[in-house]
Amino acid sequence: MVQLPAFEVERWMDTHENTPGVLNIAETCCSSVSINQLVQFDTSKQQDGRSVVDPSARLGYGTIRGSEELRRNLATMYNEDQNATRNNSVPPVTSNDIIIQQGAIAANRDVFYSLVGPGDHVVCVFPTYQQLYSIPKSLGAEVSLWELKQSEGYVPNVGDLEALIKDNTKMVVINNPNNPTGATIPVEVLEKIVSVAKKNDIILFSDEVYQPLFHGVEQDSIPPSILALNYPKTVVTGSMSKAWALAGLRLGWAASRDASIIDAIASARDYTTISVSGLDDQVARYALSASVRPQLLARNISLAKKNLDLLARFVEDHPTVCTWVRPNAGTTAFLGFKDKNGAPVDDEAFCKDVLSKTKVFFVPGSRCFGNGETSSFNGFVRIGYVCETEVLRQALEELSGYIADHLV
């Protein structure tokens, strides 16, 4: 029997997010949009909310790997990313390089189920989404955590990676932008990581669920997907949930130029979900169409910038109580809180007390990102700040009041 530890962040969310009157700044998706809102971004003006989904379409299993149109829209997105790097030596991504999944969480699972097993060694950045290191460990692989340091802006140290590589290292796992820190791996660091993977013939897996939500990076410094770099043994995952504000679709994907990787994922998925909902596929292909995608992304980036400025002012107003590395991408920030004596708070007790007294809800760092055995994140909490602006504003006002009463 596969032994899986509790998925702490999901357990925490399920337990507390439905507290009556909650001010939820734990959510990691951009504030969600409806289909009626989605059509407002459509520059073609050819559809209304009722026509996004074709009511005449027969609801069978559909195209097993995802509709050609959706996979083509995703390929276009990746190729635009590649063109921005001016890397003409890499062949374009095609629809055959992409398989549609039920969210990035299913895509991540099948990447590991397909490619990792007993006797393998996996290196995974840390902190990150627990699934990315707990699943390979549950499959019998040895997992080494590649720790991101606050002192280095949570940018991976490639020297540390090289020290972790073993003869049986099968895969290196990165998360760009990072959850929970909101840090971005710069392109020059990505290239060094690719070089290490290539030198050792290692699969490089990048969870890119928060791309392309780069809101604090200069345009000419935005890193591409690793698909744009010249190494075939790469696989990436993405989702409609985070950057695209459509978590309710439960739709994601895996992409790789290595046909054997995509075929292996497809084979694993035969045992689980077979295909995705045809209705979800229709909405996703519309959202990622050329007439909708740019405007939807612009809305989400604008919301992220506006809300991050609010959060930054909160941190600046409480310099003796909280610290951070300001995120430059994604939807999450990792804040450290101190008590009256300057020691890290008990973050789990802190989160519970804040929720009880103010209805403000966020995630404890040591419990949900500490791997059950490290004190590296004592005192830290993860805040999801790309919610509705008024929710964030109210939550930060309540949190400021709590700090005045309890921490200073």
For residue 319, is the peptide bond before it cis, meaning its omega torsion is within 30 degrees of 0? no
> How many angstroms separate the CA atoms of 222 and 220, rounded?
6
> How many angstroms separate the CA atoms of 37 and 75, rounded?
25
Structure tokens at 168: 């049986």
Q: How would you classify the pairing of strands 234-239 and 203-207?
A: parallel
The whole-number pLDDT of residue 375 equals: 60
Q: Which residues of the chain have pLDDT under 70?
A: 1-2, 47, 49, 83-88, 372-375
The whole-number pLDDT of residue 48 equals: 73
The whole-number pLDDT of residue 4 equals: 87
The whole-number pLDDT of residue 118 equals: 97
pLDDT tens, position by position, 65-81: 999 999 999 999 999 97
Between the CA of residue 407 and those of 320, 335, 350, 391, what are the distances in Å?
A: 9, 15, 10, 23
pLDDT tens, position by position, 187-237: 999 999 999 999 999 999 999 999 999 999 999 999 999 999 989 999 999
The whole-number pLDDT of residue 51 equals: 81
Note the helical H segments in 24-66: 35-38
What is the rounded end-to-end Cα distance, in angstroms, of the chain? 50
Residue 199 backbone dihedrals phi, psi, to 5 degrees: -60, -35
Domains, the chain, in order of start with CATH, read 8-35+294-406 (3.90.1150.10), 52-290 (3.40.640.10)
